[in-house]
Amino acid sequence: MVKNRSQYKRYTRSRAGSFGYFLILALAGIFMVFPMLYCIITSFKPLDELLIFPPRFFVARPTLANYKALPSLLSNLQIPISRYVFNSLFIAVVSTFLSIIAGSLAAFTFSKSKVRGRKLLFAIVQIMLLYNAYTLSVPQYLIFSYLKMIDTYWVYILPAVPSAVNCFLMKQFMDVSVPDALIEAARIDGAGVIRIYWKIIMPIMKPAWMTVLLFSFQGMWSAVPNGTVFSEQLKTLPYVMSSV
């Protein structure tokens, strides 16, 4: 049987299209790298250039004085710098792990279960995407104060676990990538819910939860006290670096 060659026709971009595509990518890359490059260049500025307004991008008189002063500033801290590093690392690892587990379980429920009201609950999750985390600062403080969790690691970890973004991303990926027939076949073979989740869902969902892992870890590594942490021993590395 001879098949139509048009079925195998490969669509390629023209040179102009490829140039435009890579130009857009290059501009986007420069846009994302620019803030980091500005921070690096600024670190070589003397104090008088740091106070210039409007700020300048390039350094007129580069100096290493800021780097030479950094060890002495860190040595004068009340708490060793290693403690701040541990706090940031512990908070980022624990909150990221728990948020992936919670988000994937919620996505599994919304996508593949027959629980009543799941559509309404997922609609609430979508509404939660509209709210900034700072709008919840006062309610979170009141709740943590009532539960006597002020000045504990929980004030960092618990708000990060029920992430609406993580749940939404994994649910959308699961809708497309995990066929219902695969889950039904596993149930016929005698697999329970936990086994289906751990042995089937999570391996297929690896691209989604790896993306969530990167974004969650980055966000939690940058976490700073938000009015619920007053103890210096519980503060994070970004906080102390911004205050040096």
Burial class (CB in 10 A: 0-12, 13-18, 19+), 160: buried
- In terms of residues, how long is the chain? 244
Q: Which of 36, 30, 34, 56 minimizes the C-alpha distance to 45?
A: 56
Domains with residue ranges and CATH for the chain: 13-65 (no CATH), 81-243 (1.10.3720.10)
Name, in order, each residue with C-beta under 8 angstroms of 29's C-beta and a sequence gap of 6 or more: none
- Could you give the percent of the chain with pLDDT greater than 70? 94
pLDDT given at position 1: 46
pLDDT, mean over the chain: 84
Q: Which of 131, 130, 109 minimizes the C-alpha distance to 121?
A: 109
User: Between residues 29 and 132, which one has the greater pLDDT?
Assistant: 29
pLDDT given at position 45: 84
The structure tokens listed for 40 are 């690096």
Q: Are 118 and 110 in contact (CB under 8 A)?
A: yes
pLDDT given at position 114: 83
Question: Which of the four pLDDT bands, split at 50, 70 and 90, describes residue 244?
Answer: low
Does the pLDDT at position 79 exceed 80?
Answer: no
Cα 233 to chain centroid, rounded? 24
**Residue pLDDT, tens place only, 141-159:** 899 899 988 888 999 999 8
**Residue pLDDT, tens place only, 111-149:** 888 888 888 999 999 898 888 777 888 888 899 899 988
Q: What is the pTM of this model?
A: 0.75
Question: Which of the four pLDDT bands, split at 50, 70 and 90, describes residue 94?
Answer: very high
Report the 3 state secondary structure along 92-112: HHHHHHHHHHHHHHHHHHHHH
pLDDT given at position 13: 62
* CA atoms of 59 and 190, how far apart (whole Å): 68
